[in-house]
Structure 1
Amino acid sequence: MTTNQDAGAPKASKGGVLNRRRIALLGSVFAVALAGAVAVEPVFGPSAPAFAQNPIQAPAVNQPPSFADIVEAVKPAVVGVRVKTAERETQTSQTLEDMPFFRDLPKDHPLRRFFDDFGFQQDSPNRDRFGRGPRGEGPRQHRRFGMAQGSGFFISADGYVITNNHVVENADEVELTTDAGDTLKAKIIGTDPRTDLALLKVDGAGKDFPFVKLAGAAPRIGEWVVAIGNPFGLGGTVTAGIVSARGRDIGSGPYDDFLQIDAAVNRGNSGGPTFNMQGEVVGVNTAIFSPSGGNVGIAFAVPSEVASHVVASLKENGTVTRGWLGIQIQPITEDIAASIGLEDTKGALVAEPQADSPAAKAGIKAGDAITKVDGQVVEGPRELSRQIANLEPGKETALTVWRDGKEQTITVKLGTLPDDPQMAKADNPRGSDQDKGAGSRALTDYGLELDSARNMPGAGSEGVVVTDVATDSALVDRLKSGDIILEVGGEKVSRPSQVAEILSTAKADGKKAVLLRVKSGDSTRFVAIPTDHG
């Protein structure tokens, strides 16, 4: 029995049911496909919610800092630096007439003029085929121009710009390109090769330039920094990173004190600024460490506190004057500290005062350990060099010195660091042979063979010469054949037997090491040797 509803309902064929099912399935697939892009409404009424989904939501995370505001504020103060240099170059002796293709060219042909500009002599009745003139004068000379690029930044509204010395070195013309695309002529106010800094000046003509401030304090290791510059001529390039290290010595000189950053720095970034998160310049980008010549995440910048001192001096004097002691110094090792009675290795050991230098005049002696400058602790030789260099010439400076097992203060009136300081050289007259062989094998327990200097041609008359160092000697890395031992434990020596005697006495007195003053070539240094080799 059927109901009226059943009777009145149309009977679908088997094929029709399959068709409706196929359409419904395709509609579902279409809905799922769109769900990944936008939310969709159910397509087929109540049956569709099984396929409706919400967009995927990623969990909230802390975003890295944005540098956009800082860059927007400081970028207008950064400039590209283009340098033009000219070098005179003698023309080649080759003439156009030596080249078959050019022989038939008219005399005024553009190609002749072009190649003449690039070093090819045109045939002339007044010159031979080698370019020589009728009076025998040499070939004409042409100027070859070279271009270099770097970066810089304004530090004042009236147009002072900091860059690197190596960017503008030997420059004939300097042009700056601003962030807005303007080209400005600049002149060099002064340079300082020792810190690789240079100060430029643009004629402002009443125009106020956007400028940035040098930071007054060093950044902490791990702080964010932003570098802006002109790498490969791509002006206005911004990169970011962190301060990787401070106080880096890259071997460019005694005043090395670089910041190390991992912001991408490449050729052309030289002279550009590195900013902190307050928009202050913390460093002047100067060098990169790169086996390939490109960025590997190790760049070096001159700290802002160094740049401030140098720039102030360049602006006032056009050059940088530094304090000068006039001494050769070396690190204090643990052995040296033990031999002179110091508790630690801080300070710098005076290897030799330069003749007539401020240090020599004040009474500084070889073997003195300088531990403080005006009350500030000296960490090592490099720090001593920087501390003295930062003081004004003529200043009376108090040096705390460790000498003969006790501390004393010596006041030195600093001199001016010469551009090319020359070290004093000792006079070494030859002596007699009366001590030949005396005690020459007295230090065999140390793996050393010695002889009196006066017995060695060219060694002079003072000291004891090291004639051999055994390969298994503990001193093989400290002494070498030809070294001259001038003093042992502060006493001058002229015979090997004296060296052995002083070492023996020091060991009996309970000393762990003894200090030798050694001359190697034209320089002197100190070497500590332990007393427990006998």
Structure 2
Amino acid sequence: MLSTGGLAPATAQEIPNDFSAIVRQKLPAVVAITTRQIIQDQTTLNDFLNPFDGGGRIQPQVREALGSGFVISPEGYIVTNNHVVADATEIHVVFSDKETAPARVVGRDPATDIAVLKVDPRPNMTATAWGDSDAMQPGAWTIAIGSPFGLGGTVTVGVLSARSRDIQAGPYDDFLQTDASINRGNSGGPLFNARGEVIGVNTAIVSPSGGSIGIGFAVPSRTARTIVDQLISTGRIERGFIGVRLQEITPSIAEALGMPGAKGALVASVEAGSPAQKAGIQAGDVITRFNDKDIQGVHDLTLAAASQKPGSKVTVTTNRGGTNQELSLTVDRRRDQEEQTGAIPSLGTEDQRLGMSLSAIPDEARQQLGLQADTTGVFVQDVAPNSLAAESGIRPGDVIVSANNRNMTQPSDVREEWAKSRQQKKPVLFRIDRQGQSLFVAVANS
């Protein structure tokens, strides 16, 4: 007889025979999303570099893409991924009964890869309900429904593999990991718990082949629900801002600061006039708690601060010279919201964005980046996933030395050249310094 090792046997309720009842209830609320992007009069890179060679023009092209989504209210609001609908010229939603409806974008948040669509309400429209992603523990059942490879209504089942995964997709990564099979076309679809509640929005996979190997990631409902509510009510996202530049604490830094461990976020600098400065936070402080939440590192503090509603009051615990102190801070609103969500602001229509967050070159980064003392340019802080910049190979840490043969000295220079190239319907040619090596990158205005 095999021993159970002291564990009580699982009940039939804990291990259901199947998930057919949940699938029958929720399948009508899950949709396939098809998009079309029409690219007209795009000039080839050869035309741009050799304008007198008489090169030909590319004929208008149509790009089609497929994703998934789910109805969140009977009014016709549908949740999906931003990368499914970004830059789409046409968007259609296909319901489980094969009926198709046109959809419009209500709002998008590239930083969390969440978007909200709207269709005309249908009679007796089935909607999903949000669940509590924070209550999910590794080993709990997960159910994914979507349209992988165009196969609508596909159901896969697995377990929650891990929580709070940072896969370097964006500044606010906090993914759920599941081994429920997720493939191309599942993006934007729901991840359900065993009660049929949405606890995540399927977004990404790790795969060397392009197919599922049992490592999928979903935006937790805690994050997605907040973003969706804001997009529906205002069409935009407001994130908290405290005004500090941070860096991770290494064991050697912790030792130099006289701290017992490497937990917390080290304040590298404080922005003048920011909430942090007004609260008394100084460079060299280590933030260890934020509103009763322990801060393990920079990522924790970034998420905690961004999730606060502007105007809210929080308590920040800092360690300065080995002494802890509690400070009261009033969270402000980000004034550079478009840059922080991966888009250069005020470059034209909302759907044509380069997708980079830019700044002057940080003095402390010059040696690390391998830059010469006389190198000038604009520092790429972040690159939005699936943006034009990302697709062209630009990376965080690159320094844009010139654009269209014009030297760049500040972020506004890049914006000006990008706007000019868009008006001329030509690619913008960047000269990049990457770890001391020079290279050219052409970004098409599509």
Q: 2-side partners of 1:180 and 1:420: how far apart?
A: 41
Indicate conservation of the 8 Å contact 1:323/1:388, yes or no. Answer: yes
Please state how far the C-alpha of 1:425 moved relative to its aligned partner. Answer: 6.1
1:272 equivalenced with 2:189 (yes/no): yes
Q: 1:360 to 1:91 in 2, by over 3 A?
A: closer
Indicate conservation of the 8 Å contact 1:158/1:208, yes or no. Answer: no
Please state how far the C-alpha of 1:426 moved relative to its aligned partner. Answer: 7.2
1:386 equivalenced with 2:303 (yes/no): yes
Please state how far the C-alpha of 1:91 moved relative to its aligned partner. Answer: 8.8
From 310, 316, 338, the equivalent of 2:255 is 338
Indicate conservation of the 8 Å contact 2:133/2:220, yes or no. Answer: no
Q: 1:427 to 1:192 in 2, by over 3 A?
A: closer
Q: Which residue of 2 aligns with 1:214?
A: 130
Alignment of 1:167-182 (within 5 A): 167-182=84-99
What is the letter of the counterpart of residue 208 of structure 1?
Answer: N
What is the letter of the counterpart of residue 66 of structure 1?
Answer: D
Q: 2-side partners of 1:199 and 1:457: how far apart?
A: 46
Q: 1-side partners of 2:140 and 2:244: how far apart?
A: 38
Indicate conservation of the 8 Å contact 1:354/1:424, yes or no. Answer: no
Q: 1-side partners of 2:133 and 2:38: how far apart?
A: 40
- TM-score, with structure 2 as normaliser: 0.68
From 259, 275, 289, the equivalent of 1:372 is 289
Alignment of 1:74-473 (within 5 A): 74-90=26-42, 143-204=60-121, 207-218=123-134, 219-417=136-334, 418=336, 419-420=338-339, 423=359
Q: 1-side partners of 2:363 and 2:197: how far apart?
A: 54
Q: 2-side partners of 1:176 and 1:458: how far apart?
A: 53
Please state how far the C-alpha of 1:424 moved relative to its aligned partner. Answer: 6.3
Please state how far the C-alpha of 1:412 moved relative to its aligned partner. Answer: 2.8
Identity %: 45
Indicate conservation of the 8 Å contact 1:155/1:162, yes or no. Answer: yes
Indicate conservation of the 8 Å contact 2:243/2:276, yes or no. Answer: yes
Indicate conservation of the 8 Å contact 1:325/1:358, yes or no. Answer: yes
Please state how far the C-alpha of 1:69 moved relative to its aligned partner. Answer: 1.1
Indicate conservation of the 8 Å contact 1:167/1:270, yes or no. Answer: yes
Q: 1:380 to 1:65 in 2, by over 3 A?
A: farther
- TM-score, with structure 1 as normaliser: 0.57
Q: 1:341 to 1:155 in 2, by over 3 A?
A: same
What is the letter of the counterpart of residue 285 of structure 1?
Answer: N
Q: The residue matched to 2:107 in structure 1 has which SS? A: strand
Indicate conservation of the 8 Å contact 2:106/2:116, yes or no. Answer: yes
Indicate conservation of the 8 Å contact 2:239/2:310, yes or no. Answer: yes
Please state how far the C-alpha of 1:315 moved relative to its aligned partner. Answer: 0.8
How many pairs does the alignment contain?
A: 329
Show CA shifts across 1:103-159 (max 9, x none).
xxxxxxxxxxxxxxxxxxxxxxxxxxx9x9xxxxx9888532211100000011111
Q: 1-side partners of 2:224 and 2:66: how far apart?
A: 21
The gaps in structure 2 that reach 5 residues or longer are: 1-11, 45-51, 341-357, 365-371, 376-434, 436-446
Please state how far the C-alpha of 1:186 moved relative to its aligned partner. Answer: 1.0
What is the letter of the counterpart of residue 323 of structure 1?
Answer: G
Q: 1:71 to 1:336 in 2, by over 3 A?
A: same
Q: 1:326 to 1:425 in 2, by over 3 A?
A: farther
Q: Using the TM superposition, name which of 388-397 and 329-338 deviates more.
A: 329-338
Q: 2-side partners of 1:363 and 1:65: how far apart?
A: 58
| Aligned alpha-carbon RMSD (Å) | 2.8
Q: 2-side partners of 1:427 and 1:251: how far apart?
A: 24
Q: 1-side partners of 2:66 and 2:121: how far apart?
A: 22
What is the letter of the counterpart of residue 132 of structure 2?
Answer: G
Show CA shifts across 1:357-403 (max 9, x none).
33234432211001111232222211111110000123233211111
Q: 2-side partners of 1:86 and 1:319: how far apart?
A: 26
Show CA shifts across 1:286-310 (max 9, x none).
0000001111111100011111111
What is the letter of the counterpart of residue 76 of structure 1?
Answer: P
Q: 1-side partners of 2:19 and 2:363: how far apart?
A: 63
Q: Which has the higher contact order (CA 8 A, sep 6+)?
A: 2
